Amino acid sequence: MKNKRANHIDEHSKNEQLETFRTDDSGKGMTTNQGLKVSEDEFSLKAGDRGPTLMEDFQFREKMTHFDHERIPERVVHARGYAAHGYFEAYQSLEHLTKAKFLSEKGKKTPVFVRFSTVVGFRGSADTVRDVRGFATKFYTEEGNYDLVGNNMPIFFIQDAIKFPDLVHAIKPEPHNEMPQASAAHDTFWDFVAHNQETAHKIMWAMSDRALPRSYRMMDGFSVHAFRFVNAEGKSHFVKFTWKAVLGVHSLVWDETQKIAGKDPDYNRRDLYEAIDRGDYPEYELGIQVIPEEDEHKFDFDLLDATKLWPQEDVPMEIVGKMTLDRNVDNVFAETEQVAFHPGHVVPGIDFSNDPLLQGRLFSYTDTQLIRLGGPNFHELPINRPVCPFHNNQRDGYHRQTINKGQVAYHRNGLANGSPSPVPEEEGGYAHYQEKMEGRKVRARSGSFEDHFSQARMFWNSMSPPEKQHIIEAFSFELGKCKEMVVRQNAVDMFARVDRVMAEEIAGHVGAQQPDAAIEQVNVTKSSAALSQEKTIKSAKTRKIGVLIGEGFESADVQVVLDAIEAAGAHYEVISETQGKVAGTDGKELAVDHHFSTTDPVIYDALYAVGGPSISPKFAKKASKFLGEAFDHFKPIGATHEGMKWLEAAQMMEQPGIITGSEMPAFSGAFIDAVAQHRFWERQVE
C-alpha cells in the first residue's frame, strides 16, 4: 500500500510551521555549521601524515565537540518513548461547557503531537515490559499550546505529589546494583506498596493485562486527574478526559512480552511507525466525563483523589471528537526527545482542580524541562513552539532563538506605549476560575481520601475469569522475584483486603503464609463493565498474520485467503525456508518476507499454515515450533492443505481458535473472524 500523505489541517498547521526547520541533506555538498564548504572529512589536520593532530583543526574540533554534546539527560520517568503527528477533529461544539476554542465548533481541526512511553525503564529498555504507558498529547491551538498529559490507566499510585520521588525511587532499579531494569519485580517497590496502601487500586491495574498493551494503537489514554471546564458565563464543571482507541483495547500475554523484548525490543514503536507509514492511521475518540461543581460531594469517592476513577455507571462518558495520527516524525531526537509536555499548559476554558497530585505536577514539569533541555527557552524548540504568536518581556537565557527588537523589556512602560500589554479576559486573556477557598494551612490528607480498597475491589469484580487468572499470575511473578519473605508476606496480607481467595492463591505460589484470619476483605459488590477488556471492540483490521508456506502450495486456494486478509484490513508476511520467492502449483510466485530465523511467532497476531508437498523435515520442525508457541499464547491459527497435518501431529485440531478446512470462502471467513477475536482463553490451562 502506498503511504498516504497527511493533509494540511488549516492555516495554523504545525506541519507547515515545522517546514521552516526541516532540512534534507541528500545530494548536498558538505559544510561546517558556519556554512564553510568542506573539502576533506576523512582525515584530521596533522603535522605530517604520521605526526600529531594540530589544535588549529577547527573542522575536527567542531565535529568532535558537537558529538561529545549530542546527548541530553533522559527523562527521569517516561524515558522510553515514541511519537507521531496528527490532528484532532471536534464532533460538536462544547461552548456550553468550555471557552476552549478547539472544542467550540463541530468539524474544527487542531494539529496535535502525541508521545507514547513506558514509565520505569531507561531510554534503551524494551517496549513490552509490564508497566504503565504514558499517553501525552500536545494540541497546537490558536489560543496557545494545550497539553493533555496522561497514562493508559485512569488512576495513579499515590494521592499527593510530595510522595512522587519516593514512588519513583522505589520502582526504579535498586541503587546498590541498578537492577532490575524496567521492572517492578523487586523488593523496594513491593516494600513501598505494602507501606503505602493508597497504591492498592493502581497495583490491580498494573497487574492486569492493561500493563501489556498489544500496540500503542490498541490502548486507551486517561487524564487521571479531574480538571475544570469553564464556559463564557463563568460556570464550572469538573471534567475527566479519556482517549478511546478505535481499534479497541488489546494486550499481549506475559510470556509473549518477555520473548518479544528479546526478539524485537522496539516492538511497540515499530508497530506505530509501520502502521502510519502504510496508511493505517491510529485513531482515538475523545470522551469526557462531566460533573457539575455543585455535585462535587455526591459520590462515594472524592473527585480530587487521583487513585480513584469515575465509574461510567455513575458518571456517563460522552464522545466529543476524534484524533487521527497520520504522520511519523522526521527526526526522533528533534521531535520525540525534545518535546516538552506540561499539564499546566492550558487554554482559556480549561482550569485545574485541587487534586494534590496534579498541583505538584504543575511545578515539577517546568522544573524537569529546565535541567533536561538546558534552560528556560525550551518553548522555542520547533516541536514546542505554539502556532500562534507569543509576546512577553522574557529575554535571554540558554538557546534563545527569538531576536527581540526594541529597548523595552519590562511592564509597565511608557517607551513602548505599555506593550506587550495584558489581554482582558473578554478578549481571550486567560483568567483562573475564581473558586472560593477557606481553611487552615495544614500538612494533612482529607478523610475522604482514606478508602484505598473499595475501587481496587470493584476492579477485581469487573474482571473476566481469564483476566483474574492473569492478575494472579502477575502478582505471583512480581512477588516471586522479591528476595525478602517479609516483603512477599506484607503484599499478600495487603491484597487480602481486595480479595481473600486471590491473596491465598498468590501466597501459595510465592511461599508466603496464608493471610491472617483477622484481615477483612472489603465489602464491595459493585463492578463496572467498562473495566474489562473482554468487552472491547474486536476487529481483524491492521492485525499481522504470518503465513507459513512452501514450494508447490495450492496457488488458487491460498490467494483466496490472502485476498480475504487484505479485504479485512489485516496484513500478512510470508515465511518460508529461505528468502526470495516461493512458487505455487500454477507457477505463481509469492515474495518471501522472512525465513524462520529472521522472525518469530510472537511477532504475529495469528498464523496461517499452508505448507507444501515438498517441504523438508527442517521446515516442518520449524513450522511446528511456530504453531506450538502461537497456540500457547492463545492466538488464532488457520490451516489448510499440508498445514492441517502439522496441527494433527501436535494434537491441536478441534481446539478453540483453530480454523481448518478445504472450502476456501468458508475457511477464509471463519479465519478472519477468529483473527478479530484476538485470543482464545478457553485454551488456558487452569
C-alpha angle with apex 202: 199 to 205, nearest 5 degrees?
Answer: 150
Cα separation of 51 and 82, whole Å? Answer: 46
Would you call 483 exposed, middle or buried from its count of C-beta atoms within 10 A (0-12, 13-18, 19+)? exposed
HSE value, Cβ hemisphere, 13 Å, CA-based, for 177: 5
- 436 CB-near residues (< 8 Å, 6+ apart): none
Backbone dihedral angles phi then psi of residue 632, each to the nearest 5 degrees: -65, -25
Radius of gyration of the chain (CA): 28
The residue annotated as part of the active site, out of 12, 66, 69, 78, is: 78
Helix/strand/coil for 580: strand
Under 8 Å between Cβ of 476 and 492: no
Antiparallel, parallel or unpaired: β 606-611 and 544-549: parallel
Under 8 Å between Cβ of 84 and 217: no
Distances in whole angstroms, Cα of residue 217 to Cα of each of 222, 249, 327, 340, 432: 14, 8, 14, 22, 35
582 alpha-carbon distance from chain centroid: 38
Q: Is the peptide bond before 327 cis (omega within 30 degrees of 0)?
A: no
Identify the helix (H) or strand (E) that includes residue 147: strand 144-151
Under 8 Å between Cβ of 206 and 130: yes
Q: Could you tell me how many residues make up the chain? A: 686
Cα separation of 187 and 480, whole Å? Answer: 10
Under 8 Å between Cβ of 310 and 355: no
Under 8 Å between Cβ of 151 and 132: yes
Provide the grid cell at 351.
Answer: 482550569
Backbone dihedral angles phi then psi of residue 64, each to the nearest 5 degrees: -75, -40
**For this structure, is 595 an active site residue?**
no
Distances in whole angstroms, Cα of residue 133 to Cα of each of 118, 172, 678: 5, 15, 21
Cα separation of 211 and 120, whole Å? Answer: 12
Backbone dihedral angles phi then psi of residue 111, each to the nearest 5 degrees: -65, 145
Dihedral, 627, 629, 633, 639 alpha carbons, nearest 10: 0
Is the C-alpha dihedral spanning 400, 402, 405, 410 positive or negative? negative
**For this structure, is 151 an active site residue?**
yes
Q: Is the peptide bond before 386 cis (omega within 30 degrees of 0)?
A: no
The residue annotated as part of the active site, out of 151, 196, 328, 384, is: 151
Would you call 373 exposed, middle or buried from its count of C-beta atoms within 10 A (0-12, 13-18, 19+)? buried
Closest CA relative to residue 461, chosen from 304, 299, 680, 311: 311
Under 8 Å between Cβ of 208 and 463: yes
Question: Checking phi first, is residue 62 left (phi over 0); if not, alpha (psi -120 to 50) or beta?
Answer: alpha
Under 8 Å between Cβ of 180 and 188: no
Under 8 Å between Cβ of 219 and 252: no
Catalytic residues: 78, 151
